[in-house]
Amino acid sequence: MFNYENLKKILFLFNPERAHNIAESSLKFLGKCRILRNYYEKKNFIVNKALEQELFGRTFLNPVGLAAGFDKNATMIKSMKSLGFGFTEIGTVTPMPQDGNPKPRMFRYPEQKSVQNAMGFNNLGAHQALKNLKKLYPFYIPIGVNIGKNKTTPEEYALNDYKVLIKKLEAYSDYIIINISSPNTPNLRDLQNEKFIKELFTMAKELTTKPIFLKIAPDMEVNQAIDLCKTAVESGAAGIIATNTTIDYSLIENCKDFGGLSGAVLSEKSALLFKEIAKELYGKTILISVGGIFTGKQAYERVKNGASLVQLYSSLIFEGPSLARKINEEILELLKADGYDNISEAIGANLR
């Protein structure tokens, strides 16, 4: 019988990036094998009306999605339902292909159930992502496309990179995510300012009617983060995704002094910032919470704090491919215990 704890011992013998490549190859194969795909869909994909919700014209059959960074080039979408996800996010995609930062650039901390990555938007570029998306869009579950500027693009020309990406990819996505919060592209976080955000979303509104989200870093001061998010929403953003990885290296003793930390050590920091943002923006926009979610209880708390959806990535590495199913099952139990018939009733319950 399949046992992830045993498989994990083998995967952890490889360096993290090599293990990721093995996982990608396996999921590509799964996507091509209908018999296996159907088997794991029946095993992992929870179908229950209590988890369904309509958001920006799409049906989300459950609130648990894959965060950006795992499927950089839209090569694993067909296997996402088999992992139990209600939606998926590809990228980060840049206009031109780029190799990313020098290796080694990914590190795991098993005792802390955390990962540190300094990948640097390594991807095959917008043209290849578009080719892959065209093969299957529209898909059974919603697809988000996370976009970022190329490393070599000067800050003063960054707006054009996002313009190119939106025009190229918007027709083959259900929503678009503006990534200016990764710590792994030099000066990218400098774009987290109200002037650039206003220009960016004003431009984006003229290019597409698709929902566009802003993804923010967890390392800003609370008031700064709130002001930035409010500016984005006032300028046309459909919602906020909080948060990206952190550069608070005090969270893990003797970790690297570059890249972003994710996983369990990010959980408290991400949850606290999300809660503060939600106090200001719940009911005014769609909020998605990501960062250190390992259990249904954690996911449900983010929902009650205002999240319509939650996302996972690093926790998959430590908990395995049945994690989305387990989280959805636990959310169903918690909804029932609280007397809710549908997850929409629980969203923002702590803020009402």
The catalytic residues are 182
Q: Residue 66, SS3? A: strand
The residues that bridge with 65 in the sheet, in sequence order, are 87, 311
For 331-341, letters b (16+ CB in 10 Å) and e give: bbebbeeeeee
Backbone angles phi, psi at 71, to 5 degrees: -105, 80
Angle between helices 296-304 and 323-337 (to 10 degrees): 50
Closest CA to 191 of 182, 202, 180: 180
Kindly tell me the burial class for residue 163, based on how many C-beta atoms sit within 10 Å of its own C-beta (0-12, 13-18, 19 or more).
Answer: middle
The residues that bridge with 144 in the sheet, in sequence order, are 89, 175
Kindly tell me the burial class for residue 154, based on how many C-beta atoms sit within 10 Å of its own C-beta (0-12, 13-18, 19 or more).
Answer: exposed
CB contact at 8 A, 248 and 269? yes
CB contact at 8 A, 144 and 89? yes
Strands laid side by side in the 106-109 sheet = 106-109, 114-117, 260-263
Helical spans, DSSP H, in the chain? 4-11, 16-32, 34-44, 126-134, 158-169, 194-207, 222-234, 267-281, 296-304, 314-319, 323-337, 343-346
CB contact at 8 A, 254 and 305? no
DSSP letter (8 states) at residue 347: T
Task: State the DSSP H helix or E strand holding residue 88, giving kind and residue range, or none if neither.
Answer: strand 87-93
* 263: CB partners within 8 A, 6+ apart: 109, 112, 113, 114, 115, 292, 314, 315, 317, 318
